[in-house]
């Protein structure tokens, strides 16, 4: 029997159609088409089916539909076919099943099938339209790979419509950067994220794109996260335009530049610090080369006068000696100030550590200790410097806890010996627990370095702590 014979509808119009015309119509269809009977056997195929699966017409007629699908799908398909026979209905191509076809040579390929029931004198027939979707599947896989790559990008990528300005695509980087969900972002515009922009300023930004003057631009602004935190961002805005140049969409590439801004701020602060250090070095140089030299010359001249008047006017000579002593003390204090003004490498020198300890302890002591240094303090060996800093911290801590002092003087001499003296005007050591762990520890640190330690009351009922060790500096 001809393979169109069983398809003849029972109407007068359909009886007038010849078998050749039906076959030509089916063969002209762009998709593969086949007809199966109620038992699932093939009763008709068009030329596209033969080309898709690589069979001759005679090889398929009368065979079950499952011959065209891989073995692993056949059992499930028989169950689908039974359910479809019980409730036959048209399934449009858009909602069709995505399956895999099996070619005669054993190769598989993705197909999409839509089904339509057809009742005729031969009973219930099923017309299947089969489409090779290998190209579409490959395109979807490529698009999926692109989306995965975009989602793996740390930068935010957002696409918004040129007319509505509403986002139509956001990547995972955008979600993580601003803290909104994908669904939330797809209901937003750029104005929801960029607080520095208004409707008019955004329109001004986009106007050159619509006039065809530019195709991209770069600028910095801030994005406001969902939690209200503003982050500095750098944005590259590009237009996706039609052939006439009018933008249909905008692609917004957003990079969080918080780290860059922080680094730039640090560099700026470092530059200011360098300028400050240069100024301090200049002041220190002027103090050393000009002020100290003039004071020293004045002191030398004063000493020469003392020798001349000492026998004739002893009282005046005594006053002049006091002035010379004051000049010497002034020179020492200026030298101490010079050491403070000059940079100490990477802030790791002994003098810097001493100043830091004094600054830390000032609030506890109740007054800022007065520091005087003599000699090249930063040349003290590390093993001595580390112990000296610890002893100084302990001594000032004792003053804070027990002395009730209003003045504290710290003197450090770096010569043949390294000497630390801490003098306060407090209640005196007799009222303090002199045998405490702190005092014993300071004494032990001096002993380990071959030095001595003492803590005694001075003439004005204060306390003198003196820590003295040999200087092993080269």
Q: Is residue 142 part of a domain?
A: no
Model-level pTM?
0.43
Note whether 218 and 312 are same-domain residues.
no
Q: Is residue 144 part of a domain?
A: no
Euclidean distance between CA atoms 325 and 298, whole angstroms: 12
Q: Is residue 306 part of a domain?
A: yes
DSSP secondary structure string for all residues of 40-82: SBEEEE-HHHHHHHT--HHHHTTSBGGGGS-HHHHHHHHHHHH
Residue ending a domain, among 319, 343, 367, is 343
Note whether 357 and 307 are same-domain residues.
no
Note whether 324 and 415 are same-domain residues.
no
Please write down the HEC assignment for all residues of 404-452: CCCCEEEEEEECCEEEEEEEECCCCHHHCCCCCHHHHHHHHHHHHCCCE
Note whether 22 and 116 are same-domain residues.
yes
Q: Is residue 296 part of a domain?
A: yes
Give the CATH number of the domain where residue 111 resides.
Answer: 3.30.450.20
Q: Is residue 175 part of a domain?
A: yes
Note whether 128 and 9 are same-domain residues.
yes
Q: Is residue 143 part of a domain?
A: no
Note whether 38 and 118 are same-domain residues.
yes
Domain that holds residue 163: 153-256
Note whether 282 and 299 are same-domain residues.
yes
At residue 92, the pLDDT reads: 54
Which token pair is 90? Answer: 């048209």
Residue ending a domain, among 222, 256, 290, is 256
Note whether 110 and 11 are same-domain residues.
yes
Note whether 182 and 271 are same-domain residues.
no
Q: Is residue 179 part of a domain?
A: yes
Give whole-number Cα distances, 113 to 33, 42, 110, 128, 248, in Å: 10, 15, 10, 7, 35
Task: Give the SS3 label for residue 375.
Answer: strand
Give the CATH number of the domain where residue 380 resides.
Answer: 3.30.565.10
Residue ending a domain, among 343, 364, 382, is 343
Euclidean distance between CA atoms 113 and 95, whole angstroms: 9
At residue 410, the pLDDT reads: 92
Task: Please report, in tens digits, the pLDDT of each residue of the chain (474 residues total).
Answer: 444 444 444 334 334 456 677 778 888 888 899 988 888 899 889 999 999 999 999 999 999 988 998 988 888 878 777 777 777 777 654 444 558 899 999 999 998 888 888 888 777 888 888 888 888 888 877 777 777 776 777 889 999 999 999 999 999 999 999 999 999 999 999 999 999 999 999 999 999 999 889 989 999 999 999 999 999 999 999 998 777 778 999 999 999 999 888 888 888 887 887 777 777 777 777 776 677 677 777 877 887 788 777 777 888 878 888 887 887 777 767 766 666 665 555 445 788 888 888 888 887 888 888 888 888 888 889 899 999 999 998 999 888 888 788 889 999 998 889 999 999 988 876 544 444 677 888 999 999 999 999 988 766 668 899 999 998 754
Domain count, the chain: 4
- The neighbour count for residue 151, using CB atoms within 10 Å, is 15
Note whether 169 and 126 are same-domain residues.
no
The C-alpha angle with vertex 139 and arms to 133 and 141, in degrees rounded to 5, equals 100
Euclidean distance between CA atoms 32 and 55, whole angstroms: 13
Note whether 363 and 310 are same-domain residues.
no
Note whether 372 and 461 are same-domain residues.
yes
Which token pair is 170? Answer: 């956001």
Q: Is residue 145 part of a domain?
A: no
């Amino acid at each position: 029997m001809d393979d169109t014979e069983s398809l003849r509808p029972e109407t007068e119009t359909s009886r007038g159609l010849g078998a050749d015309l039906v076959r030509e119509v089916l063969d002209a269809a762009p998709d593969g088409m086949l007809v199966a009977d109620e038992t699932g056997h093939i009763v008709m195929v068009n030329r596209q089916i033969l080309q898709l699966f690589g069979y001759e017409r005679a090889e398929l007629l009368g065979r079950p539909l499952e011959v065209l699908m891989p073995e692993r799908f056949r059992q499930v398909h028989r169950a689908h076919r039974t359910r479809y026979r019980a409730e036959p209905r048209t399934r449009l191509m858009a909602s069709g099943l995505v399956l895999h076809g099996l070619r005669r040579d054993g190769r598989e390929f993705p197909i999409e099938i839509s089904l339509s029931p057809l009742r005729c004198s031969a009973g219930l027939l099923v017309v299947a339209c089969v489409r090779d979707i290998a190209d579409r599947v490959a395109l979807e896989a490529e698009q999926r790979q692109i989306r995965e790559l975009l989602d793996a990008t740390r930068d935010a990528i957002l696409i918004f419509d040129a007319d509505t300005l509403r986002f139509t695509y956001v990547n995972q980087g955008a979600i993580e950067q601003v803290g909104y969900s994908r669904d939330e972002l797809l209901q937003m515009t750029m104005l929801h994220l960029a607080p520095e922009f208004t409707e008019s300023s955004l329109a001004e930004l986009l106007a050159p794109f619509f006039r065809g003057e530019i195709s991209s631009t770069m600028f910095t602004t801030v994005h406001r996260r969902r939690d209200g935190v503003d982050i500095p961002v750098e944005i590259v805005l590009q237009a996706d335009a039609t052939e006439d140049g009018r933008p249909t969409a905008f692609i917004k590439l957003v990079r969080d530049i918080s780290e860059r801004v922080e680094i730039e701020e640090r560099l700026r602060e470092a530059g200011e610090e360098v300028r400050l250090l240069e100024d301090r070095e200049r002041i220190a140089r002027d103090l050393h080369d000009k002020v100290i030299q003039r004071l020293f010359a004045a002191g030398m001249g004063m000493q020469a006068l003392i020798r001349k008047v000492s026998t004739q006017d002893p009282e005046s000579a005594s006053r002049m000696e006091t002035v010379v002593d004051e000049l010497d003390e002034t020179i020492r204090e200026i030298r101490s100030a010079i050491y403070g003004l000059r940079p100490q490498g990477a802030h790791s020198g002994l003098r810097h550590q001493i100043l830091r300890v004094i600054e830390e302890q000032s609030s506890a002591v109740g007054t800022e200790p007065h520091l005087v240094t003599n000699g090249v303090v930063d040349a003290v060996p590390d093993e001595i410097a580390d112990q000296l800093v610890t002893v100084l911290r302990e001594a000032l801590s004792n003053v804070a806890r027990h002395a009730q002092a209003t003045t504290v003087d710290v003197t450090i001499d770096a010569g043949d010996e390294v000497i630390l003296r801490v003098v306060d005007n407090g209640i005196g050591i007799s009222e303090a627990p002199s045998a405490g762990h702190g005092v014993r520890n300071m004494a032990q640190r001096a002993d380990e370095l071959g030095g001595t330690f003492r803590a005694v009351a001075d003439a004005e009922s204060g306390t003198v702590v003196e820590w003295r060790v040999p200087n092993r500096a080269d």
